[in-house]
Amino acid sequence: MLILGALTTDEERKIEKIHNLYYKNMYLLSYKVLKDHYLAEDSVQISLVKVLNNLEEIQIVESNQTKSYLYIITKNTALDLYNQRKKIKQVTNSLEERSYIVDGFFVDEYFANIGTDMDMQYYIKKLNYDDQLILYLKYHKDYSNDMIAGVLKTTNEVVRKRLSRTRKKLKQIMGREEKGEKANG
């Protein structure tokens, strides 16, 4: 959940209660805006950090005032994430081919020219463009998580989680492909 070490016991209980009571509704609202499971989770996490930073604003956890406060924070956070995703420059070369431009560099061009490991190129191209982009920034540009967070206008924690998910997806793709080859070979 969150790092709770610096909180008093009352603050810790309060944030836990907020999480337990409102997480599902916050997630559903975020998902309604973002239409993506992982981004909705990220949005709720960012919202909870915002709530944690302004915990004194919440007097009574189980109140309409708190519910409204969380609704506003969650909706605005989800809309911010939605707008940030739209800001990534997208160039449409054809209906089938899309490219992202980061620092004047075509990400597709990078993945098409990996060359040193054709297998890895094959697997990376099976990822969606958001996942390819985060791998590009991390491993080609050697950006730190903080730098990636700045480029994508998100938090370090969201970047860390997205990188973790992307690596898991890549391992799953590679595992499925290997199993398929063994079954066929």
Pick the last residue of a domain from 63, 87, 111: 87
Kindly report the CATH number assigned to the domain that includes residue 122: 1.10.10.10
CA 80/CA 76 separation, integer angstroms: 6
Q: Is-above-0.75 flag for pTM?
A: no
| Same domain flag for 72 and 94 | no
Q: So what's the pLDDT on residue 177?
A: 66
Residue 108 tokens read as: 């597709």
| Same domain flag for 77 and 96 | no
Pick the last residue of a domain from 87, 117, 134: 87
Average pLDDT, the chain: 76
Residue 177 tokens read as: 């492909």
DSSP string, the chain: ----TTS-HHHHHHHHHHHHHHHHHHHHHHHHHH--HHHHHHHHHHHHHHHHHTGGG-S-SSSHHHHHHHHHHHHHHHHHHHHHHHHS-EEESSSS-EEEEETTEEHHHHHHT--S-HHHHHHHTTS-HHHHHHHIIIIIS---HHHHHHHHTS-HHHHHHHHHHHHHHHHHHHHHHHHHHHHH-
Pick the last residue of a domain from 87, 118, 143: 87
| Same domain flag for 103 and 73 | no
Number of compact structural domains in the chain: 2
pLDDT in tens, 104-142: 444 444 454 444 455 666 777 788 888 888 887 887 777
pLDDT exceeds 90 at position 87? no
| Same domain flag for 69 and 151 | no
- Tell me the residue type at 38: Y
Region 16-23: what's the mean pLDDT?
A: 92
pLDDT exceeds 80 at position 74? yes
pLDDT exceeds 70 at position 81? yes
pLDDT band at 71 (very low <50, low <70, confident <90, very high): very high
CA 22/CA 87 separation, integer angstroms: 30
pLDDT exceeds 50 at position 94? no
Q: So what's the pLDDT on residue 168?
A: 85
CA distances 122 to 77, 117, 125, 142, 179, Å, are 35, 9, 5, 21, 16
Would residue 1 count as lying in a domain? no
| Same domain flag for 82 and 15 | yes
Give the range of the structural domain holding residue 148, as residue numbers without chain letter.
90-184
